[in-house]
């Protein structure tokens, strides 16, 4: 029953899931915004995959997308290229080298507030425009473990649950140290914190049942 809930609510690969519908709606908003920007365009997608863009049925000429990940992605589409890099240090990329910096659910995976500040600073440096999304800390269902109020539990309990069970998108991690690293990695952000990272950006807020589910900082 829980697996069925995950598939219907939080599985981005399931095109009938709520999560996929939210991503598609957000992506439509993104497309509306980039229509105003002259082509050709270059996009840096931090943490991106070809599969995501294909799932969004993206097929626009005059746009070149560079995927940046810790490891190279396999790319068989001439519209894409893949490079390695760390979101907190893009020193190999020049100032405003890309027209747009795009990212889905990456900035909350950086372990510390300091790293999140570094990523935000690099996003603003290397891109003329940006479109950066993250889940809301205060939404009652934690989006990675897909477990109600998981982020509000004591850290020791979160580690224990991660050691004992596969929850949501997070597989069971039996060893304490690895489970701790997994818990430490996810640092969800509140709206006020996100506005601190992107003080001059607009914030697109996704809602579910009247509650804010995620935030996207953009300046287009």
Q: Please give the DSSP secondary-structure letter assigned to residue 77.
A: -
CB 62 within 8 A of CB 38: no
- Give the closest residue to 130 by CA, choosing from 14, 46, 22: 46
| Tally of domains within the chain | 2
* Of the candidates 154, 185, 155, the residue with the CA atom closest to the CA atom of residue 169: 185
Same domain, yes or no: 121 and 93? yes
Element (H or E) spanning 131, and its range? Answer: strand 127-135
* 155 and 57 within one domain: no
Enumerate residues 6+ apart whose C-beta is below 8 A from 85. 68, 69, 70, 92, 93
Residues 136 and 67 in one domain: yes
List beta partners, residue 189: 136
What does the DSSP assignment read for 29-73? HHHHHHTTSPSSEEEEEET--HHHHHHTT---TTEEEEEEESSPP
Please indicate, yes or no, whether residues 96 and 164 belong to a single structural domain of this protein. Answer: no
Same domain for 51 and 155? no
Residue 113 main-chain phi, psi, to 5 deg: -60, -35
What Rg value do the Cα atoms of the chain yield, rounded?
17
HEC letters along 140-169: CEECCCCEECHHHCCHHHHHHHHHHCCECC
Please answer whether residues 68 and 84 qualify as being in contact, where contact means their C-beta atoms are separated by less than 8 angstroms: yes
Q: Residue 101: which domain range?
A: 2-141+188-218
Helix, strand, coil tally for the chain in percent (to 5): 35, 25, 40
Same domain assignment for residues 78 and 150: no
Examine the domain organization and report whether 60 and 155 are in the same domain. no
pLDDT tens track, the chain, 220 positions: 544 444 454 555 556 556 678 889 999 999 999 998 999 999 999 999 999 999 999 988 999 999 999 999 889 899 999 999 999 999 999 999 999 999 999 999 999 999 999 999 999 999 999 999 999 999 999 999 999 999 999 999 999 999 999 999 999 999 999 999 999 999 999 999 999 999 999 999 999 999 999 999 999 9
Burial class for 90, CB neighbours closer than 10 Å (0-12, 13-18, 19+): buried
**Reported pTM:** 0.91
**What is the CATH number for 113?**
3.40.50.150
For the segment 46-88, what is each residue's pLDDT rounded down to a tens digit? 999 999 999 999 988 999 999 999 999 889 899 999 999 999 9
């Amino acid at each position: 029953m829980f697996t069925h809930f995950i598939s219907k609510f939080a599985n981005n690969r399931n095109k009938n899931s709520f999560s996929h519908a939210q991503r598609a709606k957000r992506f439509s908003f993104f497309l509306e915004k980039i229509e105003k920007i002259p082509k050709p365009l270059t996009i840096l997608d931090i943490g991106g995959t070809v599969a995501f863009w294909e799932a969004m049925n993206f097929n626009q000429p005059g746009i070149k997308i560079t995927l940046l990940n810790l490891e190279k992605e396999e790319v068989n589409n001439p519209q894409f290229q893949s490079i390695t890099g760390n979101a907190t240090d893009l020193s190999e990329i020049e100032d405003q080298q890309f027209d747009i910096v795009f990212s889905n659910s990456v900035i909350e995976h950086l372990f510390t507030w300091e790293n999140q500040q570094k990523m935000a600073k690099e996003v603003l440096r290397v891109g003329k425009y940006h479109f950066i999304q993250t889940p809301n800390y205060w939404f009652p269902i934690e989006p990675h473990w897909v477990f109600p109020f998981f982020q509000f539990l004591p850290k020791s309990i979160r580690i224990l649950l991660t050691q004992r069970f596969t929850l949501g998108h997070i597989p069971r991690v039996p060893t304490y140290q690895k489970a701790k690293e997994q818990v430490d990695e996810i640092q969800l952000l509140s709206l006020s914190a996100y506005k601190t990272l992107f003080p001059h950006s607009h914030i697109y807020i996704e809602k579910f049942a009247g509650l804010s589910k995620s935030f996207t900082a953009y300046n287009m």
